[in-house]
Structure 1
Amino acid sequence: MGRGIFGSPVVGLVNAGAARLIHAPVIGPLVRRSMVVIRYTGRRSQQTFETPVNYQRSGSEVVIRVMAPDQKTWWRNFTGGGGALTLTDFDGADRTGHAVAQRDDGGRVTVRVRLDAS
């Protein structure tokens, strides 16, 4: 079985394009209302990764709904007790927090980030 589009180089290009939009001078502020680049360290590899995600914020909590979770691996770094995560250029600065991923009975995955005090 193939890896599908989510495991292809196309996704890397799409993610790079989304990250550029987030930081674009004119459209960036609009895009940042619902999209942010997250930075985290892989549990096994100990490498640092960055990926753009859509989010919703409620006070000091950020909710990320993972689209096509079975085709992605990044959220698995936050299962169980969760782990540290940085939202880059969030509120005008990098913001850190603790992220925990949960899968519901329907297979949907939500990552909840409790922001550290700024």
Structure 2
Amino acid sequence: MTAFQTVANAANTIVRPLMGLPVLSSVLGRGLATLTYVGRRSGKTISLPVSYRKSGSTVTVMVAAPSQKSWWRNFHPDGAPVTVDIAGRKHQGTAVATVSEKGGVRVTIDLATTSS
């Protein structure tokens, strides 16, 4: 595990419980959501805080430093079901990760559909 991954894991461990507190969830929910999915290879349920933008029934997560992270690969190239908790409200959807020519990664979550 790299130093970046160690720091990210520690931050996630602190932020995730804070996002569940009623007083903070509405404030943090303006820019942070909890993404929950089942790992494609591990089969484990994983939850992590992500920065997001929502437009209609689409949630977009831009993955910072994608080469240092592996979670988004669960949605590339095929999509997978996810739950997105935004300010205490859970939404089901399908997430698909796309990689740009420059190496940037975007995860697009369609809340109108779920895959099986």
Query: Structure 1 length normalisation: TM-score?
Result: 0.86
| Residue in structure 1 matching 2:110, options 109, 114, 118 | 114
Q: How far apart are the structure 1 equivalents of 2:91 and 2:18?
A: 19
Q: Give per-residue Cα distances to partners, 1:54-88, cap 9 Å, x unaligned.
A: 00000000000001100111000001221111112
* Kept after mapping to 1: 8 A contact 2:29/2:87: no
Q: How far apart are the structure 2 equivalents of 1:37 and 1:92?
A: 9
| Residue in structure 2 matching 1:94, options 84, 90, 93 | 90
| Residue in structure 1 matching 2:42, options 31, 41, 45 | 45
Q: How far apart are the structure 2 equivalents of 1:82 and 1:27?
A: 31
3-state SS of 2:23 partner: coil
Residue segments in structure 1 that go unaligned for 5+ positions in a row: none
Offset of residue 91 of structure 1: 6.0
Q: How far apart are the structure 2 equivalents of 1:48 and 1:24?
A: 21
CA RMSD of aligned residues (A): 1.6
Q: Which structure 2 residues correspond to residues 1-118 of structure 1 after superposition, within 5 A?
A: 3-8=1-6, 10-88=7-85, 90=86, 92-116=88-112
Offset of residue 47 of structure 1: 1.1
Q: Which has the higher contact order (CA 8 A, sep 6+)?
A: 2
Query: Structure 2 length normalisation: TM-score?
Result: 0.87
3-state SS of 1:26 partner: helix
Offset of residue 112 of structure 1: 0.2
Residue segments in structure 2 that go unaligned for 5+ positions in a row: none
- What count of residue pairs does the alignment treat as equivalent? 113
**In percent, how many aligned pairs have the same letter?**
36
